[in-house]
């Protein structure tokens, strides 16, 4: 942890009492207003590109279609964003929408039941945790938070408050991942060994520079210090820069480039498909090989994650070559599932291994590719479906029914964030799921598996596995009877 991180932690501890007081004030205001309006009162924090185009527009459409919600307030540090979002809601849904620069003021004054957060990554943790402590449900754009430590803390707040929180990886509301997991848990693939995934892109102007810079972005229209989060210890003070403000994903203080903007999508989906959660060993690599435009984040990157259940995950991409991506798939001893068809089709492909290896009769498992299809139809609008899932969970008061709850969001953050840290710091990391502690990697990972092999141990499996030893053993050929050390010159074979 560098000195800036340390000062941030000190700040958060010294302001804990103030946050608690604010939370109590919010709860008191909400209690007084509970009978005044039976509709779910929702406010928006951050209504820029994604916050407006996905959050505001999706919830506005849902409200317009008769949902029992009311969009009452918006908050953004940029005057243009505030007015655009508020004007849109007033036109589409009617009523007067309050406009704020400070999210804490909105939390305290608007008697909100829920908030939708679409701010830059470095703000997510504080805004989400303060909302839940104040009695509000939360929809938070991905990534859930920027740092592993914040992810762990947020999961604790979520569990303690009992609030409903959805993390905005909208693809997790597709039924394909649950359908694949059912097949995996039933042993279709045998022992799961690896998943691989990607998120390739290309651009002639450089990634994230397609967010436009506007002449009216100035220190007069943008609350720059609040955007940075200087007082909260989120970023260091620096001169105003339109590119940093509008294209913040290019810079480490505010985001982590493809690691958190793109890798978190695929990683979360693969975790849903396999049942895997926290990785135990993480390696990140890559570099800035083409996009020399002042950015800090790499344009080529790969993260390799190892799991205690004896499985490896790989996520890789280039931001400057997109026509030859790798196939998204999960590999097992008996076969593989390929997500090689449009996700919205609800279809995926099973490719079996040779019967000479699996000893599964071709009449039982045909030795040919099979296209499998989910029973549930995929939603036409994934983002809207993700918001509707959140609202349904609130209505049921069932936090675990969200398609991407904080415990899943945190697992994905551990993988992508430690992958980014590994790339930047030149280290390999271990993560202990029991203690939630990070440490530098050593030889213990390799030695662990060597020990199991020496002891002729049994294979470990992904969480949810219920297929016994199916596809999880190997056979000893007759000549292995000759194996073993010669002790005192005696042949082990007799």
Residue 4 pLDDT more than 80? no
Mean local confidence (pLDDT), 392-398: 98
Specify whether the backbone of 59 is left (phi greater than 0), alpha (psi in -120 to 50) or beta.
alpha
The secondary structure of residue 343, as a DSSP letter, is G
Between CA 336 and CA 353 the distance in angstroms is 8
Q: What is the pLDDT of residue 394?
A: 98
Range from 5-9, 30-34, 74-78 carrying the lowest mean pLDDT: 30-34
Between CA 217 and CA 107 the distance in angstroms is 26
Between CA 425 and CA 5 the distance in angstroms is 15
The sign of the dihedral angle between the CA atoms of 376, 381, 383, 387 is negative
Between CA 334 and CA 355 the distance in angstroms is 9
Mean local confidence (pLDDT), 10-19: 46
pLDDT band with cut points at 50, 70 and 90 for residue 20: very low
pLDDT band with cut points at 50, 70 and 90 for residue 361: confident
Between CA 172 and CA 404 the distance in angstroms is 6
What is the strand order of the sheet 429-432 is part of? 370-373, 347-352, 335-338, 329-332, 192-198, 311-318, 300-307, 281-287, 429-432, 437-440
Kindly list the distances between the CA atom of residue 51 and the CA atoms of 18, 54, 94, in Å, as whole numbers in the listed order: 27, 6, 20
pLDDT digits (tens, 9 = 90+) for 401-432: 999 999 999 999 999 999 999 999 999 999 99
What's the fold here for domain 3-172+383-404?
Answer: Rossmann fold (3.40.50)
Token output for 83: 């007015």
pLDDT band with cut points at 50, 70 and 90 for residue 372: very high
pLDDT digits (tens, 9 = 90+) for 57-109: 999 999 999 999 999 999 999 999 999 999 999 999 999 999 999 999 999 99
**Strand 192-198 to strand 311-318: parallel, antiparallel, or no bridges (unpaired)?**
parallel
Between CA 2 and CA 233 the distance in angstroms is 12
Burial of 84 (0-12, 13-18, 19+ CB in 10 A): middle
pLDDT band with cut points at 50, 70 and 90 for residue 37: low
Q: What is the pLDDT of residue 343?
A: 87
Mean local confidence (pLDDT), 223-230: 98
Kindly list the distances between the CA atom of residue 151 and the CA atoms of 12, 382, 409, in Å, as whole numbers in the listed order: 15, 24, 8
Q: What is the pLDDT of residue 5?
A: 57
DSSP code string of 142-189: SSS-SSHHHHHHHHHHHHHH---EEEE-GGGGSTHHHHHHHHHHTTTT
**Strand 329-332 to strand 311-318: parallel, antiparallel, or no bridges (unpaired)?**
unpaired
Residue 6 pLDDT more than 70? no
State what percent of residues in the chain have pLDDT above 90. Answer: 90
Mean local confidence (pLDDT), 229-253: 97
What is the strand order of the sheet 114-117 is part of? 98-100, 69-75, 40-45, 114-117, 137-141, 165-168
Residue 21 pLDDT more than 50? no
Residue 385 pLDDT more than 90? yes
Residue 10 pLDDT more than 60? no
Bond into 143 cis (ω within 30): yes
**For the chain, which residues make up each domain, given as ranges?**
3-172+383-404, 173-208+247-380+405-494
Between CA 486 and CA 494 the distance in angstroms is 10
Architecture of domain 173-208+247-380+405-494: 2-Layer Sandwich (3.30)
Average pLDDT, the chain: 93
Between CA 341 and CA 338 the distance in angstroms is 8
The secondary structure of residue 476, as a DSSP letter, is P
Q: What is the pLDDT of residue 278?
A: 98
Mean local confidence (pLDDT), 303-313: 98
* Helix, coil or strand: residue 3: helix
Contact at 8 Å (CB) between 415 and 268? no
Please identify which residue in the block is written with the tokens 């007084």.
32
Contact at 8 Å (CB) between 107 and 136? yes
Contact at 8 Å (CB) between 355 and 361? yes
pLDDT band with cut points at 50, 70 and 90 for residue 31: very low
Contact at 8 Å (CB) between 330 and 270? yes
């Amino acid at each position: 942890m560098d000195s800036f991180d340390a000062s941030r932690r000190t700040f958060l501890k010294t302001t804990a009492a103030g946050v608690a007081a604010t939370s109590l004030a919010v709860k008191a205001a909400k209690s007084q207003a509970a009978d005044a309006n039976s509709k779910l009162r929702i406010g928006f924090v951050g209504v820029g590109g994604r916050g407006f185009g996905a959050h505001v527009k999706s919830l506005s459409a849902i409200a317009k279609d008769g949902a029992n919600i009311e969009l009452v307030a918006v908050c953004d540090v940029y005057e243009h964003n505030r007015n655009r979002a508020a004007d849109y809601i007033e036109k589409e849904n009617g009523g007067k929408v309050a406009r704020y620069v400070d999210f804490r003021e909105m939390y305290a004054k608007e008697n909100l039941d829920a908030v939708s957060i679409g701010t830059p990554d470095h703000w997510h943790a504080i805004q989400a945790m303060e909302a839940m402590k104040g009695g509000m449900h939360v929809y938070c754009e991905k990534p859930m938070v920027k740092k592993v430590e914040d992810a762990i803390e947020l999961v604790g707040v979520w569990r303690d408050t009992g609030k409903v929180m959805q993390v905005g990886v909208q693809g997790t509301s597709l039924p394909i991942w649950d359908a694949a997991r059912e097949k995996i848990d039933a042993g279709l693939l045998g022992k799961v060994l690896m998943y691989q995934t990607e998120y390739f892109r290309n651009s002639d102007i450089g990634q994230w520079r397609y967010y436009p810079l506007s002449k009216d972005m100035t220190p007069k229209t943008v609350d720059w210090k609040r955007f940075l989060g200087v007082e909260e210890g989120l970023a260091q003070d620096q001169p105003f820069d339109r590119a940093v403000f509008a294209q913040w994903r290019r810079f480490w203080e505010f985001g982590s480039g493809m690691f958190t903007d793109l890798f978190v999508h695929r990683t979360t989906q693969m975790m849903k498909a396999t049942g895997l959660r926290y990785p135990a060993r993480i390696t990140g690599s890559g570099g800035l090989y083409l996009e020399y435009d002042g950015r800090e984040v790499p344009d080529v990157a790969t993260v390799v994650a190892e799991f205690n259940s004896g499985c490896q995950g790989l996520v890789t991409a280039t931001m400057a070559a997109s026509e030859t991506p790798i196939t998204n798939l999960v590999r097992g001893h008996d076969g593989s599932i390929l997500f090689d068809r449009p996700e919205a089709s609800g279809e995926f492909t099973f490719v079996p291994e040779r019967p000479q290896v699996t000893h599964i009769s071709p009449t039982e498992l045909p030795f040919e590719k099979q296209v499998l299809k989910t029973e549930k139809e995929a939603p036409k609008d994934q983002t809207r479906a993700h918001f509707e899932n959140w609202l349904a969970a609130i209505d049921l008061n069932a936090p675990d029914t969200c398609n991407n709850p904080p415990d899943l969001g945190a697992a994905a953050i551990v993988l992508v964030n430690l992958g980014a840290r590994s790339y930047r710091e030149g280290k390999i990391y271990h993560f202990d799921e029991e203690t939630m502690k990070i440490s530098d990697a050593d030889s213990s990972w390799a030695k662990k598996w060597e020990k199991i092999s020496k002891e002729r141990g049994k294979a470990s499996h992904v969480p949810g596995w219920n297929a016994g030893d199916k596809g999880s053993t190997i056979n000893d050929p007759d000549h292995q009877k000759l194996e073993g050390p010669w002790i005192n010159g005696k042949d082990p074979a007799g």
